[in-house]
Amino acid sequence: MVDFLESFFSFKKIYRPGYFNTPESFLKYIDKQKPQAIIAEDSFLPSISDRTTRFPVVTIITGKIERGLETAIKHHSDRYLYAPYHVKDLEYKLEKVILARNELSSMKREIRELSIVADLSQLISSTLDPKEVLYRIVKKIADEIPVSRCSIIRVDWRHKSAFVVASYEDPNMCSIRLDLKKYPEILAAFKTKKPVVIRDISSDPLMKKVRQLIMPLGIKSILVIPIKVHEKVIGTLFLRTARAERTFNEAEVRLLNIIANTSANALYNAILFEQVEDEKTRLEKLAITDYLTGVYNVRYFYHHIIEEFNRAERYVFPVSCVMLDIDFFKKVNDEYGHRTGDEVLKEFAKLLKRNTRKSDVLARYGGEEFIILMPQTPADGAMAEAERIRLSIKRHKFRSIKDKRIITVSIGISSFPHPEVKTHDDLITFADNALFEAKNSGRDKVIIFQ
């Protein structure tokens, strides 16, 4: 296994691999480092999984495939490999897990930003006191981004004067007069109608005339954001933040710009909060959806099967679990390429959606495996549904495959009540066992766990 990985990374120069012989040495490493992805043998997972949830994990199954899959799934692996190992397979899965995690990080950042905006909208809409509204804005900024100063400034251009109307350092501070000649960054923001970032006061040419006045204050970076409504600068409100230790990064500038826009809209109308909530809901839906096929991901499935199994136990309802695996899918990838394989998976998922009931929960289990939770469905009902799905797939002509070869599916079913099904994990495991039996006994069939 190590030889295979060393050979792989010797050709893939974009990665900088590190190798660890013991869980202890690996855990010590990730305490200080943030790897893009982790490749771990299944025997390692129980010892490290509690600390690897922040990173995408590709599991190498070295022993029995069934046991290795159970371990990988139990410890939330993103992908897995089993012998015989192929360079293209590892390359594809490694790229996919890194991409998926990056997309998830991006979504989390967006959700955080939207959550801040939503919180701020609620805060400033819960009072009619203008002074309190302005203070809540600067206080929220200071809570979210480390700054040494944060204030809202009112500018009176007719009299060329400016006033601090809110400052997070002191909620009672207001109407402190400023000399605009000493604030070229505010003047620049008004003229350009864009954020002005002074990354380093000691070298920025904009601050040349006032540098000697500001340097003794220990401020390194300044950010000024004009508050706009319908692309027009509101002539009286400016956000001005400052910090001593480091410059503002792009994410902070973006977040503050969002807050500035939100504040302006929230001061003048009450509809932003609903818009933000809708967007937040959309992003949360993306977080529980498989990125390739558009069906639910396995984590969402686990959440639902736990609830449904508890309900079935409490009220003695039947519940069934159906696992499906595309037969000889590796041949599709080998003959037509992984891109075609992805298109087949997308088309396969759409076909499953059309053939599952509204009450069922369909998810991608991993690779070419899918899983369906069928609430209040006994074994014979699940058998009928699974057989209908099997025939539908067999009759379907996949558009992504030019020669229209027939694609079949093997299906395993387990149901509760059953003397051996004690937990929701049993329901999944026995469906997987039945699927394994269906594949070993000729494929293109449905097997119920007995």
Residues labelled catalytic: 368
Q: How far apart are CA 127 and CA 123, in angstroms?
A: 8
Q: Compute CA 175 distance to the chain's CA centroid, rounded to the nearest angstrom.
A: 44
303 and 396 in contact (C-beta within 8 Å)? no
In the structure, how many helices (H) and strands (E) does the chain have?
15, 14
- Burial of residue 195 (CB within 10 Å: 0-12, 13-18, 19+) is middle
DSSP 296: B
DSSP summary character for residue 346: H
- Do 255 and 289 meet the contact criterion of CB atoms below 8 Å apart? no
HSE at residue 271, side-chain half, CA atoms within 13 A, is 1
309-320 as b/e: b if 16+ CB within 10 A: beebbeeebbbb
Q: How far apart are CA 208 and CA 184, in angstroms?
A: 9
**Other beta carbons less than 10 A from residue 30's beta carbon:** 17
| 139 in Cβ contact with 133 (< 8 Å) | no
- CA–CA distance, 368 with 325 (Å, rounded to integer): 6
Tell me which long-range contacts 284-288 makes (C-beta under 8 A, separation of at least 24).
284/111, 286/107, 287/104, 287/107, 287/108, 287/111
What residues form DSSP beta bridges with 151?
167, 240
